[in-house]
Amino acid sequence: MVIKKRPFNNYADYFKQLFGGRVQKISVDAGFSCPNRDGSKGTGGCTFCDNEAFNPSYCQPAKGITQQIAEGIEFHHRRYRRAKQFLVYFQAYSNTYKPLAELQKLYEEALLHPAVAGLVIGTRPDTVDKTILQYLRQLQKRAYIMLEYGVESVYDETLLRVNRGHSFAEAKSAITLTYEAGIPCGGHFIFGLPGESRQMMLESAEIISGLPLTTVKFHQLQIFKGTPMAGEYLMRREDFHLFSLEEYIDFIVEFTANLRPDLIIERFAGEVPPRFLVSPAWDRIRYDVVLQRIEKRFEEKGLYQGKFWKQK
Ligand code: SF4
């Protein structure tokens, strides 16, 4: 589906078309862990990871799914009164990393709420298998289901450096299996990870475009207090090139011009409360303002999503 009211395919418009009205994502924290933290893949986690930085305050596993959904709807109603339908976003940690019976219990509980139209399940590519995909395929008959994978980088040397614990090939394989199972699939990527040049990041547009993804989400690297990466940054700042806001806007506009035109873009940049950040703070500018400036830059440069993309 190609939606072209803006210089890029906007996630909110995609869901408006799909559901016939505004749909709001509500985060829940279902108390998952992550194989890169519990020892099965690693113990330290990805060096940039701090789930607390983006977890809304109402998201506490002890409350259970139903209560978090109720509080999430209330929280979002204050800002987005037009939203009548909601997608429950299993966000924190790896949300397919439990035995199938436990996953079923959690997902089914979320779908019991009458205003919930579906689930977006954020996870690691190495925690999904054919059995889970088969179950989600069945679930799709009753609700919208999307899997959202943290890919972060298309370069194995970067994934190794940030202690990601999986390769790009594993991410590609999970995305392909998900696509083949007929389940919409999103990918999350970070720009500015140590060791990647601007050129490498620009070239990743072609690689990302070759993945059978429905949606993409991009973040500038943000270094969170207390993470291993914060320590690394303070010791060796010269290894990092953190984007300034202006540089990032220029980069992301050019990157998007090289991106497959039908990919739906959920976000161009991340936003977390400044108290979590070591750097960069971008003068505490809110994401909606960043987005306006990105759209303006598309216009100034005469660019749009896919302008330079060539089908292979
Ligand atoms: S970013 Fe995701 S995969 Fe990495 S440690 Fe954090 S929860 Fe685990």
Share of the chain above pLDDT 70, in %: 98
Q: Is residue 89 part of a domain?
A: yes
Per residue in 210-262, pLDDT tens?
999 999 999 999 999 999 999 999 999 988 989 999 999 999 999 999 999 99
**C-beta atoms surrounding 287 within 10 Å:** 14
Q: Is 55 within 8 Å of 32 (Cβ atoms)?
A: no
> What is this structure's pTM?
0.95
Type of residue at 85: Q
Per residue in 142-179, pLDDT tens?
999 999 999 999 999 999 999 999 999 999 999 999 99
Q: How far is the CA of 195 from the centre of ligand 1 (A)?
A: 20
* Residue 312 pLDDT class (50, 70, 90 cuts): confident
Q: How far is the CA of 266 from the centre of ligand 1 (A)?
A: 20
Q: Is 73 within 8 Å of 117 (Cβ atoms)?
A: no
Per residue in 62-95, pLDDT tens?
999 999 999 999 888 777 677 789 999 999 999 9
- CATH number for 263: 3.20.20.70
pLDDT at 174: 98
CB of 93 closer than 6 angstroms to any ligand 1 atom: yes
Cα–Cα distance, 160 to 167 (Å, whole number): 8
Cα–Cα distance, 260 to 197 (Å, whole number): 21
Q: Which domain holds residue 253?
A: 11-301
Going by alpha carbons, the residue nearest to atom 7 of ligand 1 is 93
pLDDT at 83: 78
CB of 48 closer than 6 angstroms to any ligand 1 atom: no
Cα–Cα distance, 149 to 2 (Å, whole number): 22
CB of 36 closer than 6 angstroms to any ligand 1 atom: yes
Q: Above 80 in pLDDT, residue 111? A: yes
Q: Is residue 6 part of a domain?
A: no
pLDDT at 51: 82
The helix/strand count (H/E) of the chain reads as 10, 9
Virtual torsion, Cα 203, 209, 213, 218, nearest 10 deg? 40
Q: Is residue 157 part of a domain?
A: yes
Q: Is residue 307 part of a domain?
A: no
Cα–Cα distance, 266 to 64 (Å, whole number): 27
Q: Is residue 206 part of a domain?
A: yes
- Supply the DSSP string of 173-231, one letter for each residue: HHHHHHHHTT--EEEEEEE--TT--HHHHHHHHHHHHTS--SEEEEEE--EETTSHHHH
pLDDT at 171: 98
Going by alpha carbons, the residue nearest to atom 5 of ligand 1 is 45
Q: Is residue 57 part of a domain?
A: yes
Q: How many domains would you assign to the chain?
A: 1
Going by alpha carbons, the residue nearest to atom 8 of ligand 1 is 34
Q: Is residue 102 part of a domain?
A: yes
Q: Is residue 306 part of a domain?
A: no
Give the atom of ligand 1 at the shortest distance from the alpha carbon of 152.
1
